[in-house]
Structure 1
């Protein structure tokens, strides 16, 4: 994160203390499902909105899996309660050269893997080489592009051994960059940059990270009882963790609950310590003292498949955006504290280095709810396309929230734009990610949560060669501006900011996506569970320093 950038207070990391309801009276509190029986056992029962996809640091892409991976494996740095990257496996703050091109860190000598092996510098070198190896197919490999030789390796032109990440013995590592990267410390705290035990990974082969038996931990918990596809798993305290004396919880028992009503019933029955709320249930619990709302640096949007001949028509894309009433969507369909968003970036995320203005304040909302105009555009699009009707496949996750969103958007389009048929395909997240990767969709309900506090983290997504550009959007002028912001103007805050603002304008002029909302998450939380750390970027929550009070 550039020194001139800042996260607004509303997105800073906070400690949350919440309360629990036990019956239909939404204002009452009761005993918790968490365990503290006086014998020292501390167990939390947690719900997750979706299943885990993988625990391979190089292949992980979804936030839910990252959230739990962050409890099992630690990188050189971690994000603290103030939202700053601080030493984890690193023994100190490290040494950064004056030109910003080399980062050197000493490693802790008391960090070990759960099989007893020491955590060494080679574990990081191996993991980074695996990340950029084109044979891995890692979607997050682009984050390493400023490391020496990484672009050439990813293009298959240079051997992975030439990557600018070197071990200086077992307990020192150096990263050599080709250009200053102001947010590099945040990357060192991100899951894609976490270490892997080479001998264990190679022993597991393709099975690595696909079950709890095929994973080693070096963090506060180990992952147990996960078979790779199941809807339950456990985090158990890792007694070999270097800071085990700071970890109070003995275990976190997790179960996937996709329906908010089911989650609430479990919570009120004292069987879980949290419950995700959406829609009408949020309204029912609006005044409940147990409710916690976390605003996120995360946007939800619709992505187009640019291979679809119909969707290459700009008027059709604009018409689709104009019939979605986002005010109704956030207040009636969701009702969970999420807010309307007029562009690609969330509010209260990054600010102008000169004026301090929010990025979103300098970008005008480019789509509004205007059914009449949408219908005019659809008529013009039909003439240009030579059709009277079209059918589009709409892909999204199969959790209750995604289903509600999908059905609402389907209704808005079909009711207001006669002749357009929307076929819904709501599938488990792992399947949705696979459909997105294979571009097997026409319209994709997707979203992005910030990995680090810099606008480029969002703007990179629609770069033509980005692995996250599932729809295949391409604009040469846009690419040139992103390249300029990352190279020529990388050290000029004002010019870089102007590049990114101009690039955003190109996205909106092209109607390259449909913005839906900035996400907030509403949960019921148990007051007995104290010290949960919430982050606005990267791993969203941290239970490693939480505890259960009597």
Structure 2
């Protein structure tokens, strides 16, 4: 890791404290690509891109690159007015065509975007993404430079929330064409629409720098000039840097949480990110294919996992025990404001019951004609996931006679690539919510969804989620109940096995202000961040 820069570029504020315009922060994840259409997620990289709308501190969508919008055609048409002063970081104007191009590029089947499913409901989006219609058939239009029109198949309940997510941000066709296959693979081979640009970055690099975007439409509200980011794989190294005052913000894990539980610097950041155990139900090995498609075997393994032990002892406060398939603190019942997580079924899908596990196990083995079973469990080389995988292996093998789980630890980027391509037997993966809606976790499990890497399928589940995406119900509770019914189906069938929800804890300097922590989408927003010393 490179040497961290000291704080500099100070100015006097009215209260005689110094406004410091440089910060040093730790990052949850490295950045894999700067290509919006090919990004897996955005986390802190979301600071590079603005979308049409912005999720404010009260979690309400407000104007961003669009200065205003209007809804017509019974909720099926949105007309956005693009700001006159909207520019990319290279000075090129951001126009309505920049959005048309970006959306078409993401939905191009050749792009293979993992975010394509988020566009479902935009007119012809699915058919375009599956190559059944040309890109020009997508329901978007730019009648003039400042007018961007979106046509929907049916009204979408959470459409304005979607429009805050960076997957819907504009792209500069001139730059994409210029760099071709290398677009987004270097800091100087991409342009940005958000409050910052990136410097000193390469794919998977451990350090990079955010610099204030001089062409940003709202640059007057961006106080920081420089943010040095550090993705440190060794948590003790990151903590040591914080203790040495070389970091203003760092992530805590394991025993570190216990040591700092009473610290004034402790910062809580719950996140709508769930970790799952996923089986490859289309694997070529005939024995494993039968096993992974057997619901009793999937239930058996799940019932050997004591999630309370994971949350309270193994991860020591860094996680929450799941109540079902959807995370806590994500979405609330429109009728009574109760958390979806408190109402979902969960059931045996998140229970710990060794006796019942053995019953299901014996039943399942008999059904597939086997007396024992062995499979490889692929995990990323992160500390917490490795701990959980070792716990699952130990617990399941102890309680299920004849089971052998072989752990395969690989780099995070390798795990992701193999997961997408279906090159795994079983693996532990995670998903963060892009929007504050239960469908953020449920929709990716639909049969034809590109993020359903385990290939689980259930026709009734697909029907319920398809219906709940749209606001074709007079009573919003009808939609809510359809999502609850869908969650019950996936839990009863163990379409994927919830393990733990991320609950992040950090140390933050008392002089660091204005960081917005989102429970969905781009986790960290630095637009309004500032330091006063």
TM-score (norm 1): 0.89
Q: Within 5 A, what are the aligned runs for 1:134-213?
A: 134-213=109-188
Alpha-carbon offset, residue 386 of structure 1: 2.9
| Equivalent position of 2:52 in the other structure | 76
Alpha-carbon offset, residue 34 of structure 1: 4.5
Flag the 1:187–1:323 CA change in 2: closer, same or farther, 3 A: same
4+ residue runs over 6 A deviation:
none
| Equivalent position of 1:14 in the other structure | none
Secondary structure of the 2:36 match is: coil
Provide the aligned C-alpha RMSD in A: 2.0
| Equivalent position of 1:448 in the other structure | 431
Secondary structure of the 1:309 match is: helix
Tell me if the contact between 2:117 and 2:444 (Cα under 8 Å) persists in the aligned partners.
no
Q: Distance in 1 between matches of 2:357 and 2:114?
A: 35
Equivalent residue for 1:96, pick from 52, 57, 71:
71
Q: Which blocks of at least 5 consecutive residues in structure 1 are unaligned?
A: 1-31
Flag the 1:487–1:70 CA change in 2: closer, same or farther, 3 A: closer
Equivalent residue for 1:50, pick from 11, 29, 41:
29
Alpha-carbon offset, residue 460 of structure 1: 0.6
Alpha-carbon offset, residue 99 of structure 1: 0.5
Q: Distance in 1 between matches of 2:450 and 2:434?
A: 15
Tell me if the contact between 2:381 and 2:410 (Cα under 8 Å) persists in the aligned partners.
yes
Deviates more, 1:188-197 or 1:144-153: 144-153
Equivalent residue for 2:339, pick from 334, 351, 358:
358
Matched, 1:542 2:521: no
Secondary structure of the 2:115 match is: helix
Alpha-carbon offset, residue 434 of structure 1: 0.8
Alpha-carbon offset, residue 91 of structure 1: 1.6
Q: Distance in 2 between matches of 1:336 and 1:148?
A: 44
Secondary structure of the 1:548 match is: strand
Matched, 1:527 2:510: yes
Q: What does the per-residue CA deviation read over 1:338-369, in whole Å, with 9 as the maximum and x for residues that have no partner?
A: 22112111223223333443323333332321
Q: Distance in 2 between matches of 1:121 and 1:331?
A: 49
Tell me if the contact between 1:34 and 1:528 (Cα under 8 Å) persists in the aligned partners.
no
Secondary structure of the 2:38 match is: coil
Secondary structure of the 1:524 match is: strand
Equivalent residue for 2:272, pick from 289, 297, 311:
297
Tell me if the contact between 1:49 and 1:258 (Cα under 8 Å) persists in the aligned partners.
no
Flag the 1:72–1:356 CA change in 2: closer, same or farther, 3 A: closer
Q: Distance in 1 between matches of 2:264 and 2:44?
A: 27
Alpha-carbon offset, residue 487 of structure 1: 5.2
Q: Distance in 1 between matches of 2:343 and 2:429?
A: 24
Matched, 1:340 2:316: no
| Equivalent position of 2:369 in the other structure | 386
Alpha-carbon offset, residue 259 of structure 1: 2.3
Q: What does the per-residue CA deviation read over 1:222-270, in whole Å, with 9 as the maximum and x for residues that have no partner?
A: 1111122322111011122122221111111112112222211111111
| Equivalent position of 2:285 in the other structure | none
| Equivalent position of 1:278 in the other structure | 253
Equivalent residue for 1:403, pick from 357, 379, 386:
386
Equivalent residue for 1:312, pick from 286, 293, 299:
293
Tell me if the contact between 1:89 and 1:108 (Cα under 8 Å) persists in the aligned partners.
yes
Alpha-carbon offset, residue 485 of structure 1: 2.6
Secondary structure of the 2:507 match is: strand
Equivalent residue for 2:208, pick from 233, 238, 243:
233
Equivalent residue for 2:84, pick from 85, 95, 109:
109
Equivalent residue for 1:457, pick from 417, 421, 440:
440
Alpha-carbon offset, residue 416 of structure 1: 2.6
| Equivalent position of 1:423 in the other structure | 406
Larger RCO: Structure 1 or Structure 2 (Cα < 8 Å, ≥ 6 residues apart)?
A: 1
Q: Distance in 1 between matches of 2:20 and 2:319?
A: 37
Q: Distance in 1 between matches of 2:248 and 2:221?
A: 21
Secondary structure of the 1:139 match is: coil
Equivalent residue for 2:236, pick from 252, 261, 277:
261
Secondary structure of the 2:116 match is: helix
Alpha-carbon offset, residue 378 of structure 1: 2.2
Alpha-carbon offset, residue 337 of structure 1: 4.4
Tell me if the contact between 1:295 and 1:337 (Cα under 8 Å) persists in the aligned partners.
no
Q: Distance in 2 between matches of 1:473 and 1:33?
A: 50
Deviates more, 1:506-515 or 1:326-335: 506-515
Secondary structure of the 2:97 match is: helix
Q: What does the per-residue CA deviation read over 1:68-124, in whole Å, with 9 as the maximum and x for residues that have no partner?
A: 3321121111111111111111122x1111611111111111121122211111111
Tell me if the contact between 1:338 and 1:517 (Cα under 8 Å) persists in the aligned partners.
yes
Tell me if the contact between 1:233 and 1:254 (Cα under 8 Å) persists in the aligned partners.
yes
